[in-house]
Structure 1
Amino acid sequence: MLDLLLHNGAVRTFDGAGWAQAVGITGGYITYVGTDDDAPAARHRIDLNGRLLTPGIIDSHNHLLLGFDPDAVSLEGASSLGEVRKRIAEHAVERPELDWICAENAVYSVVEGRRPNASDLSGVTDRPVFITTYDQHSVWLNDAALRVLGITHESSIPWGRPEVDADGNPTGWVTDFYTSAMTASGLRGLQRDIPMYSPDRRYRRITSSLAMAAASGITTVVEPQVPLAELDLMYRARAEGKMHSRVITALFHPVGSDAEFRKDLREAVDSAPVDDMLRLGPVKLYADDVIEPHTAAMLADYANRPGHRGSPSMPPNEFTAMLGELHRLGFQTHTHATGDWGVRMALDAIESAQRSNRTTDHRHGIVHVECLDDADLPRFARLGVVPAMQPRHCSPDLVAGTWMDNVGEGRWDRAWRFKSLADSGARLAFSSDWQVGEMDPLVGFYTALTRAGLDGGSAWTPDECLDLDTTLCAYTQGGAWAWHAENELGVIRAGARADVVVWSANLYTLEASELLGERADLTIVGGAVVHDARREFSDDPPVPASAAGVGHGVPAESHSTCAH
């Protein structure tokens, strides 16, 4: 007898081109896939009434540690300086007990034609102001913050690079924030100076992000950048029962770290308990920074800064040696690269590691791939490299202005090449990049299908639009393959783990514009109902199995992939 039968639905299995009507779950695993008529008896039954059931979403790049801080100002949707000033001023009045006024999600184009600076915040509050950009790669400070932090024309800080004007005075803008902030010294400095980075507030972000993931149909989350110093926060969330979705934790490898640090990474992974809900293992690297502040590495000059191409995070030969050593140590790497030069450098390093070690199935990933040269397009499939990409990032309401102007119209056809990569045979693994983008996968579905803003405006670079099936594959089967878990996750097949999501409608019958009005009705992880929007499951859900952890980097036999 089944523990649970979900029947009368449209079940997209991603086991080849398969569809079914019903799915049965027993002991945390899928034990039946087929028609309603042939389904075994079950202790519990849920009538799907034609709704779509798919494998659970695997969000392959989701910053649980970033989240949203309820004691900070959200600048999401604030497109003008006036709106930014208004929200910060209101927050300062409402929260007189705060020593710092912190804000998140500022866009680079909030001041037209230039980067924001400290004087743009003059008169808003007499307290120090600390603002992170939506991509977490830059910080905006007011004059009070510059004074409190002691930032002058000749000072440095451990968590970023303060910019100076032509006279050598600090502007209030700090670049290279996220790559510096997650180093041991950077994190110490932040936790000393900025209240928003205290361990308790960081933990609160993790738990709220995990709750949001379950409610969004996300059954596996890849946290792409956890410093060793904050690994205990992940263990705490697991011990306190806050991990309703599985979590794969990528450990951060700061630029400049030596072989001794890499041994520390290996020890942390090898000593981690085997757990079906929390797994360690991938290593996060940076090949370059980001395009908006002209710090990504480009093969040709930025369109609006002649003579400037940005630069890699480290000399290419050093990056290749570092990735090669991690490869030999058995690590899978997850490398941030946005510019076309940064992407090429990452591909070159992976190819060198494979050639030197005669191994090809590490499934190294390159994250973002915002700008991709034609010559490098076929290399992803040939090398078995995962393009770990975020559909929402190509939305014109995010990249119009700064990103588009910096890259230049002549290179827009290199931007977020989802369809070109899928057609080439590359295994796409999609994600939200929360909280850089909205966590809700339906937002990602809509953007992948339309390349349009959430306001429904005109599509940008529409030749790279995908269909829904390819998109869903990248969020399920593609993500499972990326993390060596295709036998257990990302598929509805007897013997796979019972990680599934029931959507509020059959998404395949809807227009792209209608997707944003839908939701995840039911999220099941290891047979346990972890989210139930319609309260369809009134009794105690099945207890998830406590078998060995997912994947653990062991190559598995291949299965057919989704048609592109």
Structure 2
Amino acid sequence: MPQTADIIIRNARILTMDSDHPTADAIALAGNRILAVGANADIDALASSGTRIVDARGASVLPGINEAHMHIFPGSVSLTQLNLHHLSGFQALKAAMLDYAAANPDEPLLMGFSASYTLLGEGKPITRHVLDAILPDRPFMMFAPDHHTAWANTAALKAAGILEGGDVGIGNEIVMGDDGFANGELREGNAFGPVVALSSTGGREELGMLTGMDPEQVTPEQYAIDRAVLKRGLEYCACEGITSIQNFDGNHYQLRIMRDLEASGELPVRIRIPFHIKNFMDLSVLDTAARWKQDYASDMLRSDFVKVFMDGVLDSYTAFMLDGYGDRPDYCCEPLFTTEAFNAIATRADELGLQLAVHAIGSAAVRQTFDGYEAAAKANGARDSRHRIEHIEIIHPDDIPRFAELGVVASVQPVHYPGGSCFPIEPTDSKIGRERWPYAYLWRTLKQAGARMVFASDWPVSPINPFENIQDSLTRKPWGEAMPDERVTLHEAIHAYTAEGAWVEFMEDRKGRLKPGFLADIVVLSQDIEAAAPDGVARMKPLMTICDGRVTFEAV
């Protein structure tokens, strides 16, 4: 007898991302695979008495969203933190902080996130004294949207032992005040890490980002807390239509929890976790990364790439720049790795068959990353490595062709551009410098130069909603003269969130498209996305998410 479907979705506007059959009306799933895609009548013939029939009512059905750059542990923890996104002014901050403190009387460290650099107004710095005026007697810290800068009050700085400063290494800074004490601004992980460690989670959610190491001791109770936090975060991803996550901080502790969830049937999304190499590690640690690739190789849980931070971010002057900053032309910052060290990492990782993904925001960091990939290709021979550069907020025009020449993937976050739905134009455009505006946050330009490109949110740096990212990629307006039009088309944006995301993780043979035999990863939307106005795409909502043939989210 012919195989029958477990689930049929019909009356849909299916965008398959399969160039041979780009659209369809209905899709049938059997087990964890796609059984058939086609016309309603043909798919209806695959139903049996036990088949679940889903009427899409003319709404779009897409391949499951592949979130190609995010941070699952910090993002999961942020779901219970104080969200300061779009909040503005001292009085609004005061009200939010006091309400949050009252609602969390037992939390040893109160934490907020997505606090704008210009929260108090342009040119008005956030200091410990500002936070003390609101909450003087309980430790409090809040992250900037980019998660590379934080501001802490005096109580938090004292409790962390850094009120009088300290050595936090290259690329990190405890900003000091004229009084000889920390002024409250903490730049990069080594600076704010001691404060994060005060929290009820002990800062375990930040270790994959800050050190790449595992927590030294975890009690069964703490493990249970972390497992529950991550499970809630993964379920939150599923409700946003996400079926695959490419995580961008990593340690073995996260892999252990994910394998636990996978074994118990509680992993609602596919997840890929990197080995995070830091500048204090010996090159031999890449042998451990190679073992992880062998040990974690299922379709639900994989660890097959290496994450590197080359620099920080523009707004805190920790991005590594060519020719200085727009408002500090004599200052370039320093990279977190020397040229020799990164070339060695790139060459060895490539030799081991490990993909590299490098956070490089400044133009000099982007160039140094390209140079390392070129050194690896010369040492090992050209291969299909699909190495990546993450963010690429400023690039020198001479480096644009190198994406195609070296086969490097551009990983970008559409909501990150200044003046979009997430971040204001200032202070970022001043730090870029007017003469470099045409080479900032490039999408269309990179695609036209032959770059393969994936989209992502970088959650919790910005909201995870993939449709907000897609909307920003469709509606972006230049914020200055002589800037190119960097918008992409709707189908290009969806492709960057689905089929291209599967390709970049070497899974294009089984996911990212809706075609028979592929994994059953699907999102059913609330509307027809092709009929929506470009500025209305962010209002799209998933009505159903299916991962590996299981319904992982369904709107009530």
SS in 2 for 1:108: coil
Give yes or no for contact 2:511–2:519 (8 Å, CA) kept in 1: yes
Which shows bigger deviation, 85-94 or 425-434?
85-94
**Counterpart selection for 1:504 from 526, 549, 556:** 526
Give yes or no for contact 1:163–1:173 (8 Å, CA) kept in 2: yes
Give yes or no for contact 1:228–1:252 (8 Å, CA) kept in 2: no
**Counterpart selection for 2:370 from 341, 344, 347:** 347
The separation in 2 between residues aligned to 1:33 and 1:94, in whole angstroms, is 50
Deviations 1:504-553 (A, max 9, x none): 1111111112212221112111222212225xxxxxxxxxxxxxxxxxxx
Q: Give the residue type in structure 2 aligned to 1:77.
A: H
Deviations 1:155-187 (A, max 9, x none): 34699531223564321111121x777xxxx6x
SS in 1 for 2:70: coil
Give yes or no for contact 1:299–1:340 (8 Å, CA) kept in 2: yes
The separation in 2 between residues aligned to 1:46 and 1:458, in whole angstroms, is 47
The separation in 2 between residues aligned to 1:323 and 1:463, in whole angstroms, is 33
Q: CA deviation at 1:135?
A: 1.5
Q: Give the residue type in structure 2 aligned to 1:94.
A: A
Q: Give the residue type in structure 2 aligned to 1:174.
A: L
Give yes or no for contact 2:418–2:428 (8 Å, CA) kept in 1: no
The separation in 2 between residues aligned to 1:157 and 1:381, in whole angstroms, is 38
Deviations 1:328-365 (A, max 9, x none): 12211111011111111111111211121013211111
* Distance change >3 Å, CA 22–CA 92, structure 1 → 2: closer
Q: CA deviation at 1:502?
A: 1.4
Give yes or no for contact 1:335–1:365 (8 Å, CA) kept in 2: yes
Show the 5 A alignment for 1:27-176.
27-39=31-43, 40-43=45-48, 44=51, 45-67=53-75, 68-69=77-78, 71-111=80-120, 112-113=122-123, 115-125=125-135, 126-153=137-164, 155-156=166-167, 161-166=173-178, 168-176=180-188
Give yes or no for contact 1:26–1:527 (8 Å, CA) kept in 2: yes
Which shows bigger deviation, 217-226 or 125-134?
125-134
The separation in 2 between residues aligned to 1:460 and 1:120, in whole angstroms, is 39
Give yes or no for contact 2:112–2:141 (8 Å, CA) kept in 1: yes
Give yes or no for contact 1:216–1:520 (8 Å, CA) kept in 2: yes
SS in 2 for 1:355: helix
Match of 2:504 in 1: 482
2:278 maps to 1:254: yes
The separation in 2 between residues aligned to 1:459 and 1:82, in whole angstroms, is 36
Match of 1:401 in 2: 426
Give yes or no for contact 1:251–1:265 (8 Å, CA) kept in 2: yes
The separation in 1 between residues aligned to 2:292 and 2:105, in whole angstroms, is 42
Deviations 1:264-315 (A, max 9, x none): 323333333x432111111110111111101101112111113101221122
The separation in 2 between residues aligned to 1:430 and 1:465, in whole angstroms, is 13
Q: Give the residue type in structure 2 aligned to 1:161.
A: E
SS in 2 for 1:264: helix
2:436 maps to 1:411: yes
Q: Give the residue type in structure 2 aligned to 1:333.
A: L
Match of 1:553 in 2: none
The separation in 1 between residues aligned to 2:482 and 2:25, in whole angstroms, is 37
The separation in 1 between residues aligned to 2:357 and 2:448, in whole angstroms, is 22
Q: CA deviation at 1:191?
A: 6.9
Q: Give the residue type in structure 2 aligned to 1:148.
A: A
**Counterpart selection for 2:360 from 329, 337, 342:** 337
Match of 1:223 in 2: 247
Q: Give the residue type in structure 2 aligned to 1:136.
A: H
Show the 5 A alignment for 1:394-473.
394-396=417-419, 397-451=422-476, 463-473=485-495
2:387 maps to 1:356: no
2:8 maps to 1:5: yes
* Distance change >3 Å, CA 459–CA 157, structure 1 → 2: same
Q: Any gaps of 5 or more consecutive residues in structure 1?
A: 535-564
Match of 1:365 in 2: 388
Deviations 1:216-236 (A, max 9, x none): 111111111112344323333
Give yes or no for contact 1:136–1:436 (8 Å, CA) kept in 2: yes
The separation in 1 between residues aligned to 2:80 and 2:494, in whole angstroms, is 35
**Counterpart selection for 1:297 from 316, 320, 332:** 320
Which shows bigger deviation, 74-83 or 422-431?
74-83
Q: CA deviation at 1:323?
A: 1.5
Normalising by structure 1, report the TM-score.
Answer: 0.87
Which shows bigger deviation, 210-219 or 309-318?
309-318
Match of 1:557 in 2: none
2:297 maps to 1:277: no
The separation in 1 between residues aligned to 2:168 and 2:81, in whole angstroms, is 22
* Distance change >3 Å, CA 271–CA 295, structure 1 → 2: same
The separation in 2 between residues aligned to 1:70 and 1:465, in whole angstroms, is 31
Give yes or no for contact 2:110–2:199 (8 Å, CA) kept in 1: no
Give yes or no for contact 1:210–1:242 (8 Å, CA) kept in 2: no
Q: Give the residue type in structure 2 aligned to 1:122.
A: D
Match of 1:554 in 2: none
Which shows bigger deviation, 226-235 or 291-300?
226-235
Percent pairwise identity = 28
Q: CA deviation at 1:367?
A: 0.7
Q: Give the residue type in structure 1 aligned to 2:175.
A: E
Give yes or no for contact 1:450–1:462 (8 Å, CA) kept in 2: no
Q: CA deviation at 1:69?
A: 3.7
The separation in 2 between residues aligned to 1:460 and 1:436, in whole angstroms, is 29
2:182 maps to 1:193: no
SS in 1 for 2:74: coil
Q: CA deviation at 1:486?
A: 0.7
Q: CA deviation at 1:471?
A: 0.3
Normalising by structure 2, report the TM-score.
Answer: 0.88
Which shows bigger deviation, 381-390 or 154-163?
154-163
SS in 1 for 2:114: strand
The separation in 1 between residues aligned to 2:336 and 2:294, in whole angstroms, is 28
